Amino acid sequence: MARQVTKQRKIGMTVLAWAVGLLIFFPILWTFLTSFKTELTAISIPPQFMFFDWTTENYSTINSQANYFHFMANSIYLALGSTLLGLLFAIPAAWAMAFSPTPRTKDILLWMLSTKMLPAVGVYIPIYLLFINLGLLDSRFGLIVVLFLINLPIMVWMLYTYFKEIPVDILEAARMDGASLRQEITQVLTPMAVPGIASTVLLNVILAWNEAFWTLNLTTTDAAPLTAFIASYSSPQGNFYAKLSAASMLAIAPILVVGWFSQKQLVRGLTFGAVK
Amino acid sequence: MGKIQLQSVTKAFGGVKVIPDLDLDIENGEFVVFVGPSGCGKSTLLRLIAGLEDTTSGTISIDGKDATHLPPAQRRLAMVFQSYALYPHMSVRKNIAFPLKMAGRNKQEIDKRVDNAAKILNLADYIDRRPGQLSGGQRQRVAIGRAIVREPAAFLFDEPLSNLDAALRVGMRLEISELHQRLKTTMIYVTHDQVEAMTMADKIVVLRAGNIEQVGSPLELYTKPRNTFVAGFIGSPKMNLMGGSDAKSHNADMIGVRPEHIDLSQSEGQWKGEVKVSEHLGSDTFLHVQTSDHSEPLTVRAGGEFPVHAGDTVYMTPQQDKIHRFDGKGLALR
């Protein structure tokens, strides 16, 4: 028998859902409001919520102090570059694991994921030295490779779970119909896996966009993305909360827009394979 | 042409031998059905012929040419899968045209052949729909259409009707038989349903654990089963097998009598028993009768309506000329 849903219960659940939603959204809202305050209002006690003198001064200051578009261009390069490079390796890897598994496939997948458990700082020194020797410090290419490698396990996992859902009969039918391996992947598998590939791309772009450890430690100016841009407002002279908030809003704005329009795919990507 | 020969074919997955050693000849234009219980290797055998699995040893030749190591597409065979295996992102037209496109045929020829297949299979009305918008029967027709357009040497069917409901299955069974009569192309059909095997096949291959138990026409298998396995598998309901004094009196270790070869009476007969279950279908009456002489209940079929019910006493007499005799190893005695 289906569970009875009373009107009170429905209202209660709705209120609870909104409360949780607002709680999660609150830090972003607070950052947004702070970005329009003066530095003094930003740290005033008690905090002022809506009723203060709104100013866009922080935005114009940070734009004049630092070249926002330079940092944003770097973020885009790093996020898209590492994602495209990742797809190039993750699609064939996931294809092989999903459709031609060996008894060790599951172990390899778990091993790949286990590398995500490694604290980044544990390999910081060797990678830093490697970057010095190869002359990759503060280079976009070097960072693209690092971001691609740290996110590759997640890309392979996500694509693997998507590919596993595609009946192998369909690929065998393509083989019977005369499709070569390339045609099988490009004309049959990929069109069927487009939603999966799209959400993998999206998640990877967000992960690369948000990555702060390596982007802060391996860059200074040339390859510095938005994470470095935000961090520059937390300085030894003190924290400039209003400017920091304005910088944060500028940094998350593009991903917020992309995320908003593709939330459906994103949720599907994160929960895919959880239930059949 | 579509003559297929399997010589000493074996298949092992790791250490498990699924097909121990198998020889089989399939003549051009024949409708051959592989039948057997789940896990008997019938689908594996079909996949070996298709080239979707590699043989461990032995040769497969198609029209006299060794095809053992040819990739699936070069064997000139078309396969219809149990799951239909249609391309969900393509319309019916594109699905059917796919093999021709892969073969690099020109657009004119592709259109002509697709339209022809659509006409044969009554697909014209939904040629621009996607598989997701079709019913199970329509999808199976599209899958068959995709196979037809290639004009293959042989069609391979892997349990194509098992996803359909009972009524549709009977209809599609007829359609496939008619298609075979029209095209006269070799067809190899895998099923676990012996009714499908009996109604469609020119030749039935009964498999058990990767071994061929018997090859023959449906009636041959029904009238002259080579062993107790074939005797039990072919025919519905299955044959009654009994040992003991019944068998001894026929100079055998075991005898078998089909349910339709036992005469029923309410007054006299060789065996007396109590009806446990009665199934009245109108056209037939099936009775499951427990006797004191046999450990298992006997299944008996009476033509038309036979007015007895559970708990009633009936008498049964096997038709002497229809009794099958088997030795201690289960092989038929002639």
Chain A residues in contact with B98 (beta carbon < 8 A): 174, 177, 179
Q: What is the CATH number of domain A66-232?
A: 1.10.3720.10
Tell whether B69 is covered by a domain.
Answer: yes
Would you say the pTM of this structure is higher than 0.95? no
pLDDT digits (tens, 9 = 90+) for B181-190: 988 999 999 9
**Of A235 and A190, which is predicted with more confidence?**
A190
Smallest CA–CA distance from B148 into chain A, residue? A177
What is the rounded average pLDDT of the residues A192-221?
A: 85
Domains identified in chain B, total number = 2
Smallest CA–CA distance from B80 into chain A, residue? A173
Smallest CA–CA distance from B75 into chain A, residue? A176
Tell whether B30 is covered by a domain.
Answer: yes
B300 and B194 together in one domain? no
Tokens for B209, please give them: 């654990």
Strands, E assignment, chain A: 234-235, 238-239
**Predicted-complex ipTM score:** 0.84
Q: Which amino acid is at A198?
A: A
B85 and B218 together in one domain? yes
pLDDT at A276 > cutoff 50? no
B210 and B254 together in one domain? no
pLDDT at A237 > cutoff 70? no
Query: What whole-number distance in Å separates Cα of residue B141 and Cα of residue B143?
Result: 5
Residues A170/B85, Cβ–Cβ less than 8 Å: yes
Last residue of a domain, one of B231, B262, B287: B231
B169 and B268 together in one domain? no
Contact assignment for A192 to B72 by CB distance below 8 Å: no
Nearest CB neighbour to A176, from listed B79, B83, B89: B79
Shortest Cα–Cα distance, A264 to chain B (Å): 20
Chosen for mutation from B77, B81, B188 (greatest number of chain A CBs closer than 10 Å) is B81
Tell whether B197 is covered by a domain.
Answer: yes
Q: Please, which contacts does B12-17 make with residues 24 or more away whose CB atoms are closer than 8 Å?
A: B12/B56, B17/B210
pLDDT digits (tens, 9 = 90+) for B146-161: 998 988 999 999 998 8
Task: Write out the residue range of the structural domain in which residue B324 sits.
Answer: 246-333
Residue A136's pLDDT band, with cuts at 50, 70 and 90, is confident
Query: What whole-number distance in Å separates Cα of residue B54 and Cα of residue B68?
Result: 8
What is the torsion angle, in degrees rounded to the nearest 10, for the CA atoms of residue A96, residue B57, residue B157 and residue B204?
-160
Last residue of a domain, one of B231, B258, B275: B231
Contact assignment for B87 to A183 by CB distance below 8 Å: no
Residues B131/B139, Cβ–Cβ less than 8 Å: yes
Which residues on adjacent β-strands are paired with residue B26? B4
B8 and B148 together in one domain? yes
Contact assignment for A173 to B71 by CB distance below 8 Å: no
Please identify among residues 95-124 of chain B the ones whose CB lies closer than 8 Å to any CB of chain A: 98-99, 102-103
Tokens for B155, please give them: 């069609």
Residue B297's pLDDT band, with cuts at 50, 70 and 90, is very high
Contact assignment for A192 to B81 by CB distance below 8 Å: no
Residues B32/B205, Cβ–Cβ less than 8 Å: yes
Contact assignment for A172 to B85 by CB distance below 8 Å: yes
Last residue of a domain, one of B203, B231, B259: B231
| Contact residues for B126 (Cβ-Cβ < 8 A; gap 6+) | B92, B133, B134, B138
Shortest Cα–Cα distance, B38 to chain A (Å): 19
B77 and B149 together in one domain? yes
Q: Structural domain boundaries of chain A?
A: 7-58, 66-232
Tell whether B241 is covered by a domain.
Answer: no
Residues A91/A99, Cβ–Cβ less than 8 Å: no
Shortest Cα–Cα distance, B208 to chain A (Å): 24
Tell whether B86 is covered by a domain.
Answer: yes
B78 and B223 together in one domain? yes
The proportion of chain B whose per-residue pLDDT surpasses 70, expressed as a percent, equals 100
Residues B258/B235, Cβ–Cβ less than 8 Å: yes
Residues A259, A264, A269: CA angle, nearest 5 degrees: 90
Half-sphere exposure of A138 (CA within 13 A, CB side): 4
Contact assignment for B79 to A188 by CB distance below 8 Å: no
Smallest CA–CA distance from A174 into chain B, residue? B99
Query: What whole-number distance in Å separates Cα of residue B282 and Cα of residue B144?
Result: 36
Residue A269's pLDDT band, with cuts at 50, 70 and 90, is low
- CATH number at B12 reads 3.40.50.300
- CATH number at B255 reads 2.40.50.140
